A and B are shown apart, each in its own frame.
Chain A
């Protein structure tokens, strides 16, 4: 995307931060304070590093030519690909991905600086040592005693590292490096170590060449487009098929790109990338490591992993089967393995693999808001959290900004006399105007989730008191929306155009690594295809911002 007027982006984002609150006459102090707790009433995750929502920016223009540093995952996957699928390539703590908006894809913040070159050098050297010791025979297909073999090695290995053929001058430079060494092994070691430190390896290039059909614009080269597509959809370098398409000129139209995108979306690799998106979007990424004090000890590591797997599977299934946000929020089926089915007390599923299961009436809430991953992550260590669940809805589905609590407010809720249920404790917010001005926007939504405890389990009562899951979504364009239960929240969101727009924004940010654009053309493009999630992905790929850059 690259289309943002990026010099003004943050300023604009900051200015817009206040608008909803001011427009609503809220006294949400601390608006400009930056990150704080997800849950002012008991503490949560400190939400730092840009944990909030996205603010729309103007992206009607094409962005400039740019470089995009590989993420840590992409670096790892790229190395495995360079070594022809060998997973035993040494690991290393080399690149660090700043977490922005819940994702690790930010194109602006990811840089190489300070000691990073040293880290990269020592890592590249260790990989080169490994490769020469373990794999030289496989990496070199020619006769090592033949002088031409050195150049051949540089070309073959270099093309995998750079994700495109090397120009002659680069081959010359690396061949010269090779020739400085006495033995073939030492030469190969020097070439490998250097290539893995090369900016042509650690950055993806989006530079392009002048487009004769669009004066003033660069069209990305076929190899750049292949990388763009592949890293965006699979976090991996282009596979052989994509490289062949690039080489043979079959990536020249938006239909070509869409065709390849459809193909990649069907691969297991894309499921990993789509899962990374849904975990970042719903902020469930750290579910496996969050502290949880389940008195029943049922929330095992296996259950947590299965919870994430359920959400991954539903999202991936919907992308592939042509589902949309509506289905994500209201699907009458889900994906369970034995562990999670037992945890949900549904039974009927065996094995570790996930199977599609229709949700029996009167059990789990339908859709992703009823998933254990979402309910357990957006909760406290020992109880549910109406604040966090309401905040999730506001920020991640409606793209509204929720400020952190102001300073010097004790977020520990007291224990009001007679309070038995979580709801009763949180209703304390409603009696304190200083809290309620903001918390009404979150807690009253979160109350609708109260049939699910902090571990994602269904409950009819808490402490002997029947659950009251009524609530409301205040300050909506149509006024206050009455709620009762998760299904009411899901059903309201499922029909909301705002949610569709919000998803486009998050997907667009995830795809481009730049602050989300509310691109009407992507929405329109998607709407023409039934507003499916896949149509949003394809809309992003068809947009000129994907294939073009402003000429420098």
Chain B
């Protein structure tokens, strides 16, 4: 069966390893939060790309010569790092392969994607936010992401309205919840937790693990209600519930905005937005051209791939617009803007979508407090086939993590990608 081992999570893993940072958070005295307020923003695009058209030929470490496909990134040039030719070592060479964000192929065990690992790592460092990991986007009918935890694929929140409800959860001005609401919710939680315990007692070990996940999910909620999620002095106004969207990619644009707001309210430090799915992603965007399916039509149907080129250009524009929004918001701690504090990574599920390979490309922007080495005229790095796991580790490093154990291929490259760091 073409899937990773779905029972991985049952093997050799206690529920604690599956649980979110809250699980461990509640058990330790919160450490002093790092002075830095680094945030990690993963923008994930499915369906690889046409790598030949992507490569900005003629670029160097001090200059980017944009290709037609990524020329709309121009406004970000001084804060842009494009990384070419990273090898997935066979882990990310087909649609929805698990390796792009985990470093592990189908044969691996206990896949965890980089944003989850970072969320856990921050928890272990004592960084406490209301939502340790916010994953959004995807396609409603195809909720299979390449986000993983404990070997299981995670489902992003598809509906922007549901994402809004979840992020702000009825909070009023200043992000506070009315005390009556908190009391009612706490009563409900107490009752539900008791019922979970009751049911759990009737089950065997393996089935109990399902409920452990549920119980942990309740713990997250409870922690949030009790005000445990730090707001770091952020005063933010919950926006109005999003409207519009109506097709997966436009919904994902709304998700980008929600993630930016969640950062600005310091509700989370880790957010990921998945654009589309490797199958059944219908695109109907005027700038792109005739409506069609991203994978079937744009990647494998057209020749020349004009619509794919246009779609990539449109995606670049969304990337830039998001960066601009981050730039316009002062950071919650008053230290620069959100953009300065956020490492933005544009990643994909595979390299070349046309011939199916793992020759991966990444785009970085923002900074995570000065982590990213930039150049006034943009930076282009030809990684020459270095392991892509290294840039994933760089993201961990940028967020202040130093222990990479448990992430990716233990026998693969274990050091961050040095050229990225300032």
The reply to whether A113 and B203 contact each other, CB–CB distance below 8 Å, is no
Contact with A along B86-112 (1 / 0, CB 8 A): 000010011111100000011100000
Query: Given A44-B296, A407-B93, A101 and B199 touching (CB < 8 A)?
Result: no
A514: min CB distance to chain B, Å = 11
Asked if B29 CB lies within 8 Å of chain A CBs, one says no
Surface stretch bound by B, among A236-244, A285-293, A468-476: A285-293
Q: Does any Cβ of B come within 8 Å of A159's Cβ?
A: no
A158 to chain B, nearest CB (A): 12
Contact in complex: A119, B157 (CB < 8 Å): yes
For the complex, give the distance between the alpha carbons of A45 and B299 in Å: 11
Contact of A48 among B7, B194, B278 (CB under 8 A): B278
Q: Does A34 contact B (CB under 8 A)?
A: yes
Q: How far is the CA of A383 from the CA of B356 in the complex (A)?
A: 22
Q: Does A410 lie at the interface of the complex (its beta carbon under 8 Å from any beta carbon of B)?
A: yes
Q: Is A17 an interface residue (CB 8 A)?
A: yes
B313 within 8 A of A: no
Query: A119 and B94: CB pair below 8 A?
Result: no
Q: Report whether A113 and B216 are in contact in the complex, using a CB–CB cutoff of 8 Å.
A: yes
Given contacts A51-B2, A115-B131, A401-B1, contact A190 B153 (CB under 8 A): no
A32 and B195 alpha carbons, distance in the complex (Å): 41
Question: Which of the residues B3, B214, B303 comes within 8 Å of A111, measured between beta carbons?
Answer: B214
A10 and B6: CB pair below 8 A?
Answer: yes
With contact pairs A9-B7, A49-B3, A98-B153 given, residues A35 and B94 touching in the complex (Cβ less than 8 Å): yes
Chain A residues with CB under 8 Å of B278's CB are 46, 48
Stretch of A198-206, A299-307, A416-424, A538-546 that contacts chain B: A198-206
CA of A380 to CA of B292, assembled, Å: 12
**Chain A residues with CB below 8 A from B134, complex form:** 115
Partner of B206, one of A6, A92, A94, A515: A6
- Known A177-B187, A408-B357: A119·B300 in contact at CB below 8 Å: no
Q: Is A99 an interface residue (CB 8 A)?
A: yes
Q: How far is the CA of A48 from the CA of B293 in the complex (A)?
A: 16
Among B3, B218, B296, the residue within 8 A (CB) of A45 is B296
Q: How far is the CB of B27 from chain A (nearest CB, A)?
A: 18
Q: Are B96 and A114 in contact, with the CB atoms below 8 A?
A: no
Q: Counting CB contacts under 8 A, is A96 at the interface?
A: yes
Tell me the count of chain B residues lying within 8 A, CB to CB, of chain A: 88
Q: Are B280 and A96 in contact, with the CB atoms below 8 A?
A: no
Pick from A63-71, A364-372, A528-536 the stretch touching chain B.
Answer: A63-71
Flag whether B286 is at the interface (Cβ < 8 A).
Answer: no
Question: B292-306: which have CB < 8 Å to A?
Answer: 292-293, 295-297, 299-301, 303
Neighbouring B residues of A97 by C-beta, 8 Å? 143
A36 B188 Cβ-Cβ under 8 A: no
The answer on a CB contact under 8 Å between B11 and A7 is: yes
Q: Does B33 contact A (CB under 8 A)?
A: no
**Complex interface: chain B residues within 8 A of A11 (CB):** 5
Q: Determine how close the nearest CB of chain B comes to the CB of A413; give it in whole angstroms.
A: 11
Q: Which residues, 113 to 147 on A, are CB-close (under 8 Å) to B? A: 113-119, 121-123, 125-126
| Neighbour of B217 across the interface among A50, A113, A291, CB < 8 A | A113
Nearest CB of chain A from residue B7's CB, rounded to whole Å: 5
Known: A96-B158, A111-B210, A412-B300. 15 other contacts (CB 8 A): A7-B11, A7-B206, A10-B5, A34-B94, A43-B299, A44-B300, A64-B206, A67-B203, A115-B131, A122-B166, A126-B165, A193-B184, A286-B280, A291-B293, A381-B292
12 pairs, A vs B, C-beta closer than 8 Å:
A7-B10, A37-B95, A46-B95, A47-B95, A69-B210, A94-B162, A100-B3, A119-B162, A198-B192, A289-B141, A289-B282, A412-B354
Q: Which residues of A contact B (CB under 8 A)?
A: 6-7, 9-11, 13-14, 17, 32-37, 42-55, 64-67, 69, 92-94, 96-101, 108-109, 111-119, 121-123, 125-126, 173-174, 177, 180, 190, 193-194, 197-200, 203, 205, 207, 286, 289-291, 293, 380-382, 401, 403-405, 407-412, 515, 552
